[in-house]
Amino acid sequence: MARNPVTWLGSPTFPKAAREALQDTQLRQNLRKATGTIRGRREAAVAEMTDWEMLRVAGEQIKDDVLARLDTLLVQLEETVTARGGVVHWARDAEEANRIVLDLCRAEQADEVVKVKSMATAEIGLNEALEAGGVRAIETDLAELIVQLGDDRPSHILVPAIHRNRSEIREIFQRRMGIEVSDEPADLAEAARVYLREKFLTTKVAISGANFAVADTGSIVVLESEGNGRMCLTLPDTLITVMGIEKLVPTWQDLEVFLQLLPRSSTAERMNPYTSVWTGVTPGDGPQRFHLVLIDNGRTATLMDSVGRQALRCIRCSACLNVCPVYERTGGKSYGSVYPGPIGAILTPQLVGDMHDPQAASLPYASSLCGACFEVCPVRIDIPSVLTHLRAEVVEAKGRTPESVAMAAAAWIFREASRYEKAQKAGSLARFLARDGKITSLPWPGSRWTSSRDVPAPPAESFRSWWRKNRCQE
């Protein structure tokens, strides 16, 4: 099987990448500013809702229901989309999905396509695959455009160019668009408007992702801000939508939950400026050819894991990135994947599906387990629990190591009270190594601990034995 492009080829493991990123003071400054801003605004937008917790619970339950009935709901979606004039395609992996999209572009004789920001297409490396096939993909979301023109990689789910500040963006635009522009955000937005206008008006094929697909009506939903989505979803003759198989909701009514959860969690708005909903093809309005490409690419493997599968509830809001102390300091690119931050740390290794891959296996450790991500998650993904679960899988994949042997021995000792007490008694002998209540140097393997910190000396008597002498009635 080909490697999953969800991680970037040649990426170092997380600790190595993070160490490098931490040297970049400009990056840390940009991230601190941006995440700080959005954290405050999200909190205010959520505080306004008296029923936020009920919405979160409903969001969690609806998504769990989707995962439980995924086969039935996908078949239902296929029926409803087909009945309204759409064509549904299925792709097992990135390579298959990219081939389907490239063939569709070729059938339309398109050598250029406009794109709405989409995590699914970023995950499968669609732009690179199209380029190799002679089709140029033009990103139209402002942040994606900044990344594309800067020959850069994305570092955030919602705002892929979050690591760039206004003056860096100005420099990229001047260099690549050949224009003079100030570093005022409004002027930069205007420059993007002018740059893309002609493309929107003339390009015949558009490619989008989907925030939601409604199984019982066949409706596809895209939330956006700039109007680039509306341009792509309305003006071209052909629309190709690429969507992960888990992006479903069962009924139209279910959208009432997510249309409240998603905008407040992602951009901290009561509602994002534009949401488009379309069902197959509407004669006389919008693209007259519609293709929906459903991708698996590691999702069914993730579904097999009873703890890890909750990552598939994710609606890609990026609230967990914005509150994560690790993300704020290392930035998104350290994760080596289009899915960075806490959700990336649990989703990416599962989509890769190989804990022997050292880069993917390093991601579940990219966390202090502080739990802020779980607290803000609009669909209540218990990210810390999945992280520890995946860490256990990483350890298991490693097989027998000195650490695992030591841990197995510890487990054997802890299992029996008598064994535990004997071990404690033996351990208390280590106090003879101490000076001033501290042990500063232990023989190997304990030296790996004492080389960087001291160990407090164990007491002469354990609490258990003290209790027996002083408090036990019998």
The distance of closest approach from Cβ of residue 251 to other proteins in the complex, given in angstroms and rounded to an integer, is 9
Per CB under 8 A, which of residues 239..258 are in contact with other proteins?
245, 252-257
What gap in Å lies between CA 153 and CA 421, rounded to an integer?
55
The distance of closest approach from Cβ of residue 464 to other proteins in the complex, given in angstroms and rounded to an integer, is 41
204 contributes a contact to other proteins by CB under 8 A: no
The distance of closest approach from Cβ of residue 337 to other proteins in the complex, given in angstroms and rounded to an integer, is 20
What gap in Å lies between CA 78 and CA 231, rounded to an integer?
25
Cα angle 169, 142, 278 (rounded to 5 degrees) comes to 175
Q: What does R_g of the chain's alpha carbons equal in angstroms? A: 26
Give the CA dihedral 78, 81, 86, 92, nearest 10 degrees.
Answer: -30
**Residues 153-192 as x/- pattern, contact with other proteins by CB under 8 A:** ------x-xx--xx--x---------------xx-xxx-x
Q: Which is nearer to other proteins, 165 or 465 (CB)?
A: 165
What gap in Å lies between CA 164 and CA 27, rounded to an integer?
8
What gap in Å lies between CA 322 and CA 265, rounded to an integer?
10
Segment interacting with other proteins (CB under 8 A) among 127-135, 197-205, 343-351, 447-455:
197-205
Which pair of tokens denotes residue 393? Answer: 């899988």
316 contributes a contact to other proteins by CB under 8 A: no
Pick left, alpha or beta for residue 178 (phi over 0 → left; psi -120 to 50 → alpha; otherwise beta).
left
Number of residues that bind other proteins (CB under 8 A): 99
Tell me 431's DSSP state.
G
**Residues 407-446 as x/- pattern, contact with other proteins by CB under 8 A:** ----------------------------------------
**Contact criterion met (CB below 8 Å) for 242 and 124:** yes
The distance of closest approach from Cβ of residue 285 to other proteins in the complex, given in angstroms and rounded to an integer, is 4
In sequence order, which residues have a C-beta less than 8 Å from that of residue 393 and are 6 or more positions away?
A: 355
Q: Which is nearer to other proteins, 75 or 460 (CB)?
A: 75
Q: Which is nearer to other proteins, 142 or 205 (CB)?
A: 142
What gap in Å lies between CA 7 and CA 147, rounded to an integer?
17
Q: Which is nearer to other proteins, 279 or 462 (CB)?
A: 279
Segment interacting with other proteins (CB under 8 A) among 1-9, 69-77, 384-392, 396-404:
69-77
φ, ψ for residue 8 (rounded to 5)?
Answer: -85, 135
Q: Which is nearer to other proteins, 233 or 439 (CB)?
A: 233
Per CB under 8 A, which of residues 20..59 are in contact with other proteins?
30, 33-35, 37-38, 50-51, 54-55, 57-58
**Contact criterion met (CB below 8 Å) for 119 and 157:** yes
The distance of closest approach from Cβ of residue 294 to other proteins in the complex, given in angstroms and rounded to an integer, is 8
279 contributes a contact to other proteins by CB under 8 A: yes
φ, ψ for residue 454 (rounded to 5)?
Answer: -85, 160
Helix, strand, or coil (residue 201): helix
What gap in Å lies between CA 76 and CA 79, rounded to an integer?
5
Which pair of tokens denotes residue 236? Answer: 């071209």
What gap in Å lies between CA 56 and CA 50, rounded to an integer?
12
Segment interacting with other proteins (CB under 8 A) among 296-304, 339-347, 387-395, 427-435:
296-304
Per CB under 8 A, which of residues 375..404 are in contact with other proteins?
none
| 290 C-beta neighbours (distance < 10 Å), count | 23
The distance of closest approach from Cβ of residue 13 to other proteins in the complex, given in angstroms and rounded to an integer, is 29
Among 270, 398, 419, 464, binds other proteins (CB under 8 A): 270
Sign of CA dihedral 244, 250, 252, 256: negative
201 contributes a contact to other proteins by CB under 8 A: yes
| 224 C-beta neighbours (distance < 10 Å), count | 22
Q: Which is nearer to other proteins, 161 or 439 (CB)?
A: 161
Per CB under 8 A, which of residues 93..112 are in contact with other proteins?
96, 100
Q: Which is nearer to other proteins, 237 or 357 (CB)?
A: 237
Buried b (16+ CB within 10 A) or exposed e, 109-127: ebeebbbbbbbbbbbbbbb
Per CB under 8 A, which of residues 122..151 are in contact with other proteins?
140-143, 146
Among 115, 247, 289, 309, binds other proteins (CB under 8 A): 309
Q: Could you identify the residue written with the tokens 């990026």?
A: 318
Pick left, alpha or beta for residue 256 (phi over 0 → left; psi -120 to 50 → alpha; otherwise beta).
alpha
The distance of closest approach from Cβ of residue 418 to other proteins in the complex, given in angstroms and rounded to an integer, is 40
Q: Which is nearer to other proteins, 257 or 439 (CB)?
A: 257
Cα angle 353, 358, 363 (rounded to 5 degrees) comes to 70
Among 47, 132, 179, 304, binds other proteins (CB under 8 A): 304
Segment interacting with other proteins (CB under 8 A) among 282-290, 342-350, 369-377, 415-423:
282-290
Among 98, 238, 265, 272, binds other proteins (CB under 8 A): 272
The distance of closest approach from Cβ of residue 198 to other proteins in the complex, given in angstroms and rounded to an integer, is 10
237 contributes a contact to other proteins by CB under 8 A: no
Length of the chain in residues, anyone? 474
